[in-house]
Amino acid sequence: MNRLSWFNVTSLTLGFAFLYLPMIILVVYSFNASKLVTVWAGFSTRWYGELLQNEAFLDAAWVTLKVAVISSTFATVLGTMAAYVLVRGGRFLGRTLFSGMVYAPLVMPEVITGLSLLLLFIGIGLDRGVLTIVLAHTTFSMCYVSVVVSSRLVSFDRALEEAALDLGASPWEAFRLVTLPIIAPAVISGWLLAFTLSLDDLVIASFTSGPSATTLPIKIFSAVRLGVSPEINALSTIMIGIVTVGVISASLISKRSAIKAQADAQAAERAGA
């Protein structure tokens, strides 16, 4: 068994410190009683209370969640359809152009995507707001869903679909009852990825948002330009806590599922013996 050398330990320590030490400092200073974020004046939860009374941040958070849920849902539906066509559609006229259009946002700079969408919305006379942000986020996150679902469809055993068709199921019933449940983990992963990308987006939203709709990243960026306030530290700490709880919960659920699957496999082996 290989032992960790001092070089590996030092590299890991410096790497983790570089990644997580700023977050730890941010969390600690979110409980600072002083309004100056760099001067410690004692423990206090004052800024969490003021954050809950800050209507600007709360409105921006609500808009962000609403946009993320709607856009990720649309992106999942469209991305799954695009992946199914690319994997199962075979060769058809315009396939190269279609695949290029689906995957273009993956390599397109966000500034170009945001500017082109802005010019499109101006050209068709569509006022910027929640709708334009949803359309923009759906456009650039759909390709990520398509990639995730395509990778699952490529390894999918089509004999299962053929068996369902032989038993009298229609193509739609075979997809709904056989294909979709099997690729559901990939579809859910694509939705979560699209949801995360929408929550995190700043560049595209800054081009497509309007005065009536401001997302949380834009609000935080605008506030930070005037100076970091303790309320931003409190908001960031809440977001870190939510992400941490989500990751731990997902890990526990995955571990329990793996243990259950292993137990079922052992029980099946014993029954067969």
Per-residue pLDDT of the chain (273 residues; tens, 9 = 90+): 456 678 888 888 898 889 888 888 888 888 888 877 777 888 888 888 888 888 888 888 889 889 999 999 999 999 999 888 888 877 777 778 888 888 888 888 889 988 999 999 999 988 888 899 999 999 989 999 999 899 888 887 788 888 888 888 888 888 888 888 888 888 888 898 899 889 888 899 989 988 878 888 888 888 877 777 788 888 888 888 887 887 788 778 778 877 876 776 777 677 665
Q: Given 3-state DSSP classes, what are the helix, strand and coil percentages for the chain, each rounded to the nearest 5?
A: 80, 0, 20
Cα separation, 229 vs 126, in Å, equals 35
Minimal CA–CA distance to 196: which of 128, 256, 247, 257? 247
- Model's pTM, two decimal places? 0.80
CB 183 within 8 A of CB 156: yes
Contacts (Cβ under 8 Å, ≥6 apart) of 31: 43, 44, 45, 47
Long-range contacts formed by 178-184: CB under 8 A, 24+ apart: 182/156, 183/80, 183/149, 183/152, 183/153, 183/156
| SS3 at position 15 | helix
> Quick one: CA dihedral 133, 138, 139, 144, positive or negative?
positive
| pLDDT for the residue 132 | 92
| pLDDT for the residue 108 | 86
| pLDDT for the residue 172 | 84
